[in-house]
A = this chain, B = another copy of it.
Amino acid sequence: MPRLRQTENSLLAKISRGFRSSDGGIDSRAETGTTRLLSLGIGDDAALFQPTRGCETILTCDWFLEGTHFLRDKHPPDAVGWKSLARAVSDIAAMGGTPRCFLLSLALPESATGSWLAKFLRGLRRAALRFDCVLAGGDTTKRNEILINITVVGEVQSGRALHRDGANAGDLLYVSGRLGEAEQGLRLLRKDRDIVNRSEAQLRKHLYPEPRLALGQWLVTKRLATAAMDLSDGLSSDLPRLCGASGVGARIDAQKLPSVNPLSSTRRPRHKTNTTRENEALALVLHGGDDYELLFTVPRNKTSGVPASFKGVPLTAIGEITATRKILLVAEGRKPTTLKPGGWDPFR
């Protein structure tokens, strides 16, 4: 029997259904969210969102493209669904906001409208429920490769959002979590065909990142941070953006950078020296992308308010903001070196 071809209407219906699943808990929570925030969801020309009084609306969008951001034969479809939303929600976390709803733009080849789409929607819905972010609408079309673009709408109390441009000389520079972990996960994934079922923390972090929403909101509530952003392209690429926006520089202490746990599943090459290994570990922390941790600055007189960890996520002071606009890396027994952007940049 020839395979029935999709029409755009039937694809939309499938996406809609994918978000009204049979498992009761999900159903009722999603419906409650929809009713509260959206007076009109999927199926009209546009979605209607009811803003909360006293709040500003946060708007952000992110590409997630086959071949550029994920590989169809390596990345499980449900991880593609999860991560495409998590990446965009991380920008809401960086502003200290609360996600409300999102738009899904999806371009698919005919071959991906069956099992791939079902699994993708499962991962996306899991993320939508975790982040309390309702699917409000979107656009679909046909394409040879899978193209995803997600717009997330969030809210934050007016005038309280975290910006990139508020860092001052003397502020301490903090980072959440461990850096380079997601990059390690990507290397694991590239190496091993059957690895997607394994539970290494690095792999989980690469496939199912957790935006630091609670941390961002806590920083807003406590009025601790002068500036903040999320780390998506790697510390060496993102820190210059925060410093550039604030008109300052920074001095990073290599010894203080939160170390990545060594990979349990890969053998260390015997021929490598300790120095080579140390340099590789440092490169991973400095340049590894996709961590979606928060980078933020706190004035010295408020640093006592920053705990060593927040809800299980370590918070580490890795250096300080300086008046000179250079970004320096300082390591024991070495001359300070200028830190050059070495993170992910599609145009480099």
Is the C-beta of A7 less than 8 angstroms from some C-beta in chain B?
A: yes
Count of interface residues, chain A, beta-carbon cutoff 8 Å: 70
- Complex CA gap A69/B101 in Å reads 27
* CB of A254 to closest CB in B, whole Å: 24
Whether A46 and B94, one on each chain, are in contact in the complex, defined by CB atoms closer than 8 angstroms, is yes
Is the C-beta of A36 less than 8 angstroms from some C-beta in chain B?
A: no
* CB of A147 to closest CB in B, whole Å: 6
Is the C-beta of A56 less than 8 angstroms from some C-beta in chain B?
A: yes
Among A6, A56, A62, A136, which residue has the most Cβ atoms of chain B within 10 A?
A56
* Mask of A89-108 contacts with B, CB within 8 angstroms, 1/0: 00110110100010101010
Number of copies: 2
Q: Which residues of A216-239 are within 8 A (CB) of B?
A: 229-230
- Complex CA gap A289/B189 in Å reads 44
Whether B45 and A103, one on each chain, are in contact in the complex, defined by CB atoms closer than 8 angstroms, is no
Given A5-B348, A94-B46, A347-B5: A61 in contact with B139 (beta carbons within 8 A): yes
Is the C-beta of A206 less than 8 angstroms from some C-beta in chain B?
A: no
Among A8, A345, A346, A347, which residue has the most Cβ atoms of chain B within 10 A?
A347
- Complex CA gap A107/B346 in Å reads 10
Is the C-beta of A276 less than 8 angstroms from some C-beta in chain B?
A: no
Whether B59 and A136, one on each chain, are in contact in the complex, defined by CB atoms closer than 8 angstroms, is yes
Name the one of B60, B159, B348 contacting A47, with C-beta atoms under 8 angstroms: B60
Name the one of B11, B39, B153, B230 contacting A347, with C-beta atoms under 8 angstroms: B11
Whether B151 and A61, one on each chain, are in contact in the complex, defined by CB atoms closer than 8 angstroms, is yes
Is the C-beta of A124 less than 8 angstroms from some C-beta in chain B?
A: no
* Mask of A1-41 contacts with B, CB within 8 angstroms, 1/0: 00001111111000000000000000000000000000110
Whether B50 and A137, one on each chain, are in contact in the complex, defined by CB atoms closer than 8 angstroms, is no
Is the C-beta of A165 less than 8 angstroms from some C-beta in chain B?
A: yes
User: Which A residues are closer than 8 A to B by beta carbons?
Assistant: 5-11, 39-40, 43-51, 53, 55-63, 65, 68-69, 91-92, 94-95, 97, 101, 103, 105, 107, 110, 113, 136-143, 147, 149, 151, 153-154, 156, 158-159, 161, 163-165, 229-230, 241, 245, 345-348
8 contacts between A and B (CB under 8 A): A43-B164, A44-B163, A45-B94, A45-B229, A49-B58, A59-B101, A61-B105, A65-B147
